[in-house]
Amino acid sequence: MEKNSDPGLVVVGGVAAGMSAAAKARRMRPDLPITVFERTGYVSYGACGLPYYVSGDVPSVDDLIHFTPEQFKRQRNIDVHVHHEVTAIDPSVQTVTVRKPSGEEREVDYTALMLATGASPRRLAGQERFSNVYTIDTIESGLALQRLCAHISSVAIIGGGFISVEMAEAFRRHGITVRIFQRSPHIMKSFDTDMSLLIEHELSRHGVELYKGVGEVELEGIDRVTHVSTDMGRYDVDAVLVAIGVRPNVELALEAGVKLGITGAIETDDHMRTSVPTIYAGGDNTQGYSPVTGTPCYFPLGDTANKMGKVAGENIAAATRRLAGAWEAPSSRCSASPVRAQGSTNTMQRPSALTSWPRRRTTTTAPHTAHTATRSRPSCSPTRRGRSWEGR
């Protein structure tokens, strides 16, 4: 293995939390070596804007990308390596093992490590057998779905959350028949029932077929799915989009001895420090703490990831900044109407009292450094609203 002994901050994952941490650390420590490893081909992009790229609201995938690796190097002196996967962490000697695109591996030293490995879409059992079953979470997956729209006439969407609603609109824009299959009695569980009913009405008004309270979903076919079977019937499909939630990517953390929280994501204190010294975490792989319920929570949202990343980057640079908590505030749109959830709903557990985040004593005494905040990822709001769903 090639050995690189240059110390500094190493960031694993180059989207919201990872690039926010790198950018914040750079603003506060111009002399700090910073290296980012991202296993996909893109960094610093708005993943929540991908359905709007598929629909055509966002004309080019480049509109979702805020910085390229070359811009990070030129403007901020941050070394960003795409198609590089961190495969192991050795906290005892503070090194990570990185696999290059060629397959060759090298070891990289760190003085601080930021784990921003994100989350992966949950999958149906056996879906990998089929070539026409999709998820959407990366630029590459968005490109594949955008190309798909020209070749299909019907699609089944498994799941009824934000991505399902946004992708239903995207497919309808291309004149594709859309069926949503949802296990619970209503879609959009982040909202109370009265709000979910309004969204369901809007979807139905635009030709989306809703199947709620569905039991087991079975994908039928040989190499490609040709039918979706449920306890409500059997349906012809040209493609399937699985959007049944995400799971935090914690494998690297576990192998390094990092403690997980009760949500299954990485547990940190309010400085974004993990249970392993010099290792920080933030983003969709990390558990938060809800100021509303006073309990640990898991909200895999872009805004939360950015805030976690900024707090981690500031503390890596020797400041003492706390994250006040993780607020669930997802937003989207249904047709021309924006929809947003904020705080507690009638279906959530009501707090008995507001509880502060458990604190870990720190010996760092460096003062907070004033700064001007700048975004390290783009806004995910669609650029055009109110267009017809039924094609262009």
Q: Which residues are catalytic?
A: 48
**Distances 317 to 12, 151, 310 between C-alpha atoms, Å:** 17, 50, 11
Residue of 311, 316, 314, 303 lying closest to 377 (CA atoms): 303
Angle (CA) 382-374-361 rounded to 5° is: 115
Q: What is the β-pairing status of strands 233-236 and 225-230?
A: antiparallel
Task: Take residue 2 and report the two structure tokens written for it.
Answer: 């090639």
Q: How far apart are CA 91 and CA 258, in angstroms?
A: 10
User: How many CB atoms neighbour CB 262 within 10 A?
Assistant: 11
CA 15 – CA 253 distance, rounded (Å): 18
Quote the CA–CA distance of 117 and 123 in Å, as a whole number: 18
Per-position DSSP letters for 144-210, written without gaps between them:
HHHHHTTT-SEEEEE--SHHHHHHHHHHHHTT-EEEEEESSSSS-TTS-HHHHHHHHHHHHHTT-EE
* Cβ pair 33, 8 in contact under 8 A: yes
